[in-house]
């Protein structure tokens, strides 16, 4: 029995010490973003059968002799969500892991405290690159080749480091269509309607329509002469001038026009004056200053990158336009508890976790499969009050095992003294 007491006490010291180390690590990382705590599972080191009367009994007839650490399991409950002041701070609300790369290895983390470094690469505070899908809409000259509202998540093996150019331009798009809307009234007064238009060089010019009531009228409708002019904003250079007529019915709805296209410093613009009451009208109600709808845009320079609530990396330009240029990936595992902790909130896959996967929608497209939001971070899921309570229990267990060894030692000494 004294030997058993030594076994029990020594194994208890070892397991309690291991558990205290794990719990201390949890407490030390109480403020670590995305940290997942671990708990310890114990098992008997040996078991001894006790003699019992009868062949069957509902009473456990074994007694443990010592303990061992059977497993250290991850707590998969999500931590609290805290607000932040950065769009690059991301939080995963449900299942999932961000992928990060460094030193030739891929790691997984719940910590979404990312930032764009001096090279405009999306990285963690310790320099790991965040993994995701690039939009493929940035050409070799660091110019946006086309605009995207959303970047589709690519194949899981095609995920790459999200690295973006420090300078990026939004190319100008020449105006090709302009629609005008206005009521030029019924009185014989000169009316003008204008629109901003962009030429092939990305310069914003002015397209001006001047309406004058025709000298000869053919009732019951009205007829107007119109002169269209494309010119620089200061009016010093005129690129083209077109003339035509517009015909309105008796109620002022547009019936026809001979004005069609005009040149804008090398770009042909189609002028849409509408039809009926959708566009230019001539009614006896008060005349309006009018408005226009034109396509095309001036060029723009990059103002900066940000991340929206759908984990899209958004580039914002000086011309007011935005485009998605990348998407942060979210990985999933069949067994999250099988991941191997590398350090802090970083994990790596293992045979127990299985290979990382992407969720898919009903059409077979890869999706995040969870809610991701910006301006928020997931805190450590370790609860301080629970951890401190468990630490007190483990410390008392350690003390009890220590005293059992001391007691067994004293009993051994007494037994040896009796032999003497």
Q: What's the mean per-residue pLDDT of the chain?
A: 86
pLDDT of residue 165 exceeding 90: yes
Residue 326 and residue 133 in contact, taking contact as beta carbons nearer than 8 Å: yes
- State whether 197 and 275 are in the same domain: yes
pLDDT of res. 46: 57
Between 19 and 244, the higher pLDDT residue:
244
Compute the average pLDDT of residues 184-190: 90
Residue 107 has pLDDT above 90, yes or no: yes
- Which pLDDT belongs to residue 227? 97
Average pLDDT of the segment spanning 207-221: 93
* Residues 183, 233 share a domain: yes
Question: pLDDT at position 42, please?
Answer: 60
User: What pLDDT digit, counting tens, does each position of 266-312 carry?
Assistant: 999 999 999 999 999 999 888 777 899 999 999 999 999 999 989 99
What pLDDT does residue 23 have?
A: 76
Residue with tokens 């007529």: 245
- Burial of 59 by CB count in 10 Å (0-12 exposed, 13-18 middle, 19+ buried)? exposed
Q: Comparing 339 with 26, which gets the higher pLDDT?
A: 339
Model pLDDT, residue 8: 65
% of the chain with per-residue pLDDT over 90: 65
Backbone phi, psi, residue 404, to 5° = -65, -35
- Is residue 73 very low, low, confident or very high in pLDDT (cuts 50, 70, 90)? confident
Contacts of 69 by beta carbon, 8 Å cutoff, 6+ apart: 15, 18, 19, 40, 41, 42, 43
Same domain? For 132 and 96 the reply is yes
Mean pLDDT for the stretch of residues 102-124: 94
Q: Provide mean pLDDT across the span 338-350.
A: 91
Euclidean distance between CA atoms 404 and 408, whole angstroms: 6
**257-272 residues labelled b (16+ CB within 10 A) or e (exposed):** bebeebebbebebebb
Same domain, 344 and 196: no
Mean pLDDT lowest for which of 10-24, 42-56, 251-265?
42-56
Domain-terminating residue out of 246, 265, 294: 294
Is residue 245 domain-resident? Answer: yes
Tally of domains within the chain: 3
Do 258 and 158 touch, CB atoms closer than 8 A?
Answer: no
Phi–psi pair at 5, nearest 5 degrees = -65, -40
pLDDT, position 24: 74
Q: What per-residue confidence (pLDDT) applies to 288?
A: 76
Which of 53-67, 229-243, 332-346, 358-372 shows the lowest per-residue confidence on average (mean pLDDT)? 53-67
Structural domain of residue 236, as residue ranges?
177-294
Do 258 and 345 belong together in one domain? Answer: no
Residue 353 lies in a domain: yes
Same domain (yes/no): 183, 258 = yes
Determine whether 196 is exposed, middle or buried from the number of CB atoms within 10 Å of its CB (0-12, 13-18, 19+).
Answer: middle
In a domain? residue 300? no
Section 229-237 average pLDDT: 95
Residues 157, 112 within the same domain: yes
Residue 299 lies in a domain: no
Q: Are residues 282 and 360 in the same domain?
A: no
Residue where a domain terminates, one of 294, 321, 345: 294
pLDDT tens by residue, 351-409:
999 999 999 999 999 999 999 999 999 998 887 777 677 767 767 766 666 666 666 66
Is residue 107 located within the same domain as residue 151?
A: yes
In a domain, 71, yes or no: yes
Asked if residue 136 and residue 92 are part of one domain, the reply reads yes
Same domain, yes or no: 290 and 207:
yes
**pLDDT reading at 169 higher than 70:** yes
192 and 287 co-located in one domain: yes
Q: Is 336 helix (H, G, I), strand (E, B) or coil?
A: helix
Regarding beta strands 97-102 and 129-134, do their DSSP bridges make them parallel or antiparallel, or are they unpaired?
A: antiparallel
């Amino acid at each position: 029995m004294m030997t058993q007491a030594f076994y029990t006490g020594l194994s208890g010291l070892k397991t309690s010490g291991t558990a205290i180390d794990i719990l201390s690590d949890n407490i030390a990382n109480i403020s670590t973003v995305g940290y997942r705590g671990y708990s310890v599972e114990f098992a008997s080191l040996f078991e001894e059968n006790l003699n019992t009367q009868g062949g069957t009994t509902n009473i456990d007839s074994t007694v443990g002799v010592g303990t061992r650490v059977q497993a250290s399991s991850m707590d998969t409950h999500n931590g609290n969500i805290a607000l932040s002041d950065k769009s690059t701070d991301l939080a995963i609300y449900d299942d999932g892991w961000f992928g990060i790369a460094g030193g030739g290895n891929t790691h997984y983390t719940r910590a979404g405290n990312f930032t764009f470094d001096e090279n405009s690469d999306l990285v963690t505070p310790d320099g790991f690159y965040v993994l995701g899908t690039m939009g493929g809409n940035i050409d070799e000259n660091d110019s946006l080749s086309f605009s995207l509202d959303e970047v589709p998540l690519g194949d899981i093996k095609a995920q790459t480091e999200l690295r973006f150019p420090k300078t990026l331009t939004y190319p100008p798009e020449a105006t090709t269509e302009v629609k005008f809307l206005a009521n030029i009234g019924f009185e014989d007064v000169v009316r003008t309607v204008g629109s901003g238009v962009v030429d092939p060089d990305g310069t914003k010019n002015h397209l001006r329509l001047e309406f004058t009531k025709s000298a000869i009228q053919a009732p019951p409708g009205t007829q107007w002469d119109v002169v269209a002019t494309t010119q620089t904003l200061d009016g010093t250079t005129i690129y083209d001038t077109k003339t035509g007529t517009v015909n309105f019915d008796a109620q002022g709805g547009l019936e026809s026009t001979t004005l069609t296209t005009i040149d804008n410093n090398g770009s042909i613009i189609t002028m849409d004056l509408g039809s009926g009451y959708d566009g230019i009208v001539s009614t006896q109600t008060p005349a309006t200053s009018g408005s226009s709808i034109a396509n095309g845009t001036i060029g723009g320079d990059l103002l900066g990158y940000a991340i929206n609530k759908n984990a899209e990396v958004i580039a914002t330009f000086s011309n007011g336009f935005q485009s998605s240029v990348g998407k942060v990936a979210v990985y999933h595992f069949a067994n999250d508890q099988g991941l191997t902790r590398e350090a802090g909130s970083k994990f790596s896959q293992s045979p127990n976790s299985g290979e990382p996967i992407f969720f898919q929608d009903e059409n077979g497209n890869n999706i995040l499969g969870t809610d991701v939001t910006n301006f928020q971070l997931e805190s450590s899921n370790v609860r301080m009050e629970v951890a401190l309570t468990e630490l007190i229990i483990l410390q008392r267990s350690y003390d009890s095992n220590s005293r059992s060894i001391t007691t067994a030692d004293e009993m051994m000494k007494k037994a040896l003294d009796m032999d003497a």
